Amino acid sequence: MDFLHEWANWKCNRPPFLLKSDQSVFDLELPEGASVTHDSWLDAYAADDFWSPTDTRLHVGLIPQPFIGNVRCASIYIALRATEH
């Protein structure tokens, strides 16, 4: 299944929020502390390490934002951090 179909068919109602094709990567033995699951943006924002430049963990507790632009023609993909105001 290609990326666009994967997103279009993605249905998940509880963490970890992962695409099916990403699950096998997530299931690998990751070092302890390599991922984190926050239940809400408020919990993530209240965390001591929120926006820490040294935080390299995979955050899988919040629903990811869909892509912007023409994915079929993109030469690069950029993962962005979302901010809450």
Q: Helix, strand or coil for residue 9?
A: helix
Give the DSSP H/E element, type plus range, for residue 35: strand 35-36
Among all chains, which residue has been given the structure tokens 């965390």?
Answer: 47
Phi, psi of 3, deg, nearest 5: -55, -45
Q: Where are the beta strands (DSSP E) in 1-85?
A: 35-36, 58-59
Q: What angle do CA 21, 57, 79 make, to 5 degrees?
A: 60
Q: Helix, strand or coil for residue 79?
A: coil
Question: What's residue 65's pLDDT?
Answer: 62
Question: What's residue 56's pLDDT?
Answer: 82
Query: pLDDT tens, position by position, for the chain (85 residues)?
Result: 577 788 788 887 888 888 877 777 777 766 778 888 888 888 888 988 877 888 888 888 877 666 667 777 877 776 665 555 4
Question: What's residue 85's pLDDT?
Answer: 47
Q: Helix, strand or coil for residue 81?
A: coil
